[in-house]
């Protein structure tokens, strides 16, 4: 039994990695030499060629990092390194919760260090070569350290509570862990703009002027409560442009990247805001939370079936049942189910993006939204012809051509 489980774990790791590499390869081969016919007007020849080179560079790095990650995991599994770490920690840390936390904190730290060169190369070779990166080396490491410390603090706090509940309640822990994780998700909705994003970016109110007035007029017309309109200095890290809404109830905030303000004209920015508002009006935010509720519940239920299994630990080479090894083995196995769930979620999210586009077109201006989508695609070097299968498992937004075709039918 244990041998079968080990081979299933190995199969899950190989299959998920090979699938990801295959999709990226398929997507790269599908890239057209020239823009799709309806989009030839938005790209100059040099600009489009640059977007293709960007896609190729990013995909090649993905090939390398995925292959390296798979080789590393298989090496650790076959060498028994995970079991050795578990045994070593157990000889020094008898407390079961602290033992499990130490196991995952060490693995998380080593993972950050091992893959730091890949992140460095992407930032300072790929992103910088294509005009996106604006960070200095000092900023890069400062952000990495802050992100690591934040991750460790959250992991320790939430991990301690969850592991304590697992050991105190037993197999029925998943009801409680489900509720705690959902509580944390709601907490991040409140805390992200207040505490987390300010660690990495500067937020300031949008200055008074015609743009602020146009946004306020639009949201007032639709009876939509907005607590603040904020600008984030995204240009301190990247030239890529973005915008998003955050918050629930009457404390919703519009966040615009300063790069978006530099890239688009006033009416185009309002059209982007109208799209984001469409997500709220169409109740996509509630759907996102409900989706998280279902997926978290499923994962916790499945984890409860595996976390106390002696067979899972022994399949990894341990002489006895180990809580951290069981959790690790479970998440290796969960990868295949996660691929399927991702595909379903992405399909729903792409449909919701089209609904938000339609809402913006109906309540504001389809031409201005289409113009903003085109400009952002060019500015961000978006792939204009992704493979449909790659889109199905990797994109939460429809391809630009599909969005423009849908908008054209609303005119």
Model pLDDT for residues 309-346, shown as the tens digit of each residue: 999 999 999 998 999 999 999 999 999 999 999 999 99
Token pair listed for 44: 């100059």
> pLDDT tens across 94-139, in order?
999 999 999 999 999 999 999 999 999 999 999 999 999 999 999 9
Token pair for residue 168?
A: 């105190």
The pLDDT score that the predictor gives to residue 315 is 93
Among residues 324, 313, 303, 316, the alpha carbon closest in space to that of 89 is found at: 324
Tell me the pLDDT of the chain averaged across its residues.
94
Distances (CA, A) of 235 to 68, 133, 141: 32, 9, 17
* pLDDT tens digits along 142-188: 999 999 999 999 999 999 999 999 999 999 999 999 999 999 999 99
Query: Percentage of the chain surpassing pLDDT 70?
Result: 99
The pLDDT, as a whole number, for residue 189 is 87
- For residue 183, the SS3 value is helix
How much of the chain exceeds pLDDT 90, in percent?
88
Nearest in space to 26 (alpha carbons), one of 393, 386, 337: 386
**pLDDT > 60? residue 1:** no
Q: What is the mean pLDDT of residues 287-296?
A: 95
Residue 375 confidence (pLDDT): 95
List strands edge to edge, sheet with 203-205: 203-205, 228-232, 253-257, 243-246
**Per-residue CA distances from 171 to 22, 176, 316 (Å):** 38, 11, 21
pLDDT at 2 (0 to 100): 60
Q: What distance lies between CA 350 and its chain's CA centroid?
A: 15
DSSP assignment string, 20-57: HHHHHHHHHHH--SS--GGGTTTS-HHHHHHHHHHHHH
Structure tokens given for 222 = 């639709």
Residues 347-387: tens digit of each pLDDT: 999 999 999 999 999 999 999 999 999 999 999 999 999 99
Given a contact cutoff of 8 angstroms between Cβ atoms, the answer to whether 236 and 267 are in contact is no
Instruction: Choose the weakest-confidence range: 39-48, 89-98, 231-240, 380-389.
Output: 39-48
Q: What is the pLDDT of residue 199?
A: 94
Residue 152 sits at the vertex; the CA angle it makes with 150 and 153, to the nearest 5 degrees, is: 65
């Amino acid at each position: 039994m244990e041998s079968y489980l080990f081979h299933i774990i190995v199969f899950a790791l190989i299959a998920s990695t090979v699938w990801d590499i295959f999709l990226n390869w398929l997507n790269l081969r599908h890239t057209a030499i020239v823009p799709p016919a309806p989009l030839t007007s938005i790209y100059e020849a040099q600009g489009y060629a640059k977007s293709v080179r960007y896609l190729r560079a990013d995909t090649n790095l993905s090939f390398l990092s995925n292959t390296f990650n798979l080789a590393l995991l298989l090496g650790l599994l076959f060498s028994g390194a995970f079991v050795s770490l578990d045994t070593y920690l157990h000889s020094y840390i008898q407390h079961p919760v602290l033992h499990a936390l130490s196991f995952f904190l060490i693995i998380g730290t080593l993972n950050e260090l091992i893959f730091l060169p890949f992140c460095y190369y992407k930032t300072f070779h790929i992103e910088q070569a294509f005009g996106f990166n604006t960070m200095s080396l000092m900023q890069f490491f400062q952000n990495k350290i802050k992100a690591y410390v934040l991750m460790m603090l959250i992991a320790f706090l939430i991990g301690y509570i969850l592991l304590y509940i697992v050991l105190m309640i037993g197999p029925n822990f998943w009801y409680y862990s489900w509720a705690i994780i959902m509580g944390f998700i709601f907490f991040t909705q409140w805390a992200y703009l207040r505490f987390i994003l300010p660690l990495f970016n500067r937020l300031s109110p949008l200055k008074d002027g015609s743009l602020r007035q146009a946004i306020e007029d639009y949201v007032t017309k639709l009876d939509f409560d907005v607590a603040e309109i904020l600008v984030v200095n995204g240009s301190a890290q990247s030239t890529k442009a973005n915008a998003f809404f955050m918050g629930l109830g009457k404390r919703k905030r519009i966040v615009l990247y300063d790069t978006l303000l530099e890239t688009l004209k006033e009416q185009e920015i309002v059209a982007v805001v109208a799209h984001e508002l469409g997500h709220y009006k169409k109740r996509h935010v509630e759907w996102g939370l409900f989706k998280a509720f279902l997926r978290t519940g499923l994962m916790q239920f499945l984890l409860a079936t595996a976390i106390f299994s002696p067979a899972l630990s022994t399949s990894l080479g341990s002489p006895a049942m180990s809580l951290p090894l069981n959790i690790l083995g479970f998440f290796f196995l969960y990868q295949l189910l996660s691929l399927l769930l991702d595909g379903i979620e992405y399909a729903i999210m792409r449909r919701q993006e089209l609904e938000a586009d339609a809402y913006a077109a109906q309540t504001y201006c389809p031409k201005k939204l289409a113009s903003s989508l085109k400009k952002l695609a060019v500015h961000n070097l978006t792939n204009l012809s992704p493979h449909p299968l790659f889109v199905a498992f990797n994109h939460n937004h429809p391809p630009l051509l599909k969005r423009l075709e849908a908008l054209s039918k609303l005119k």
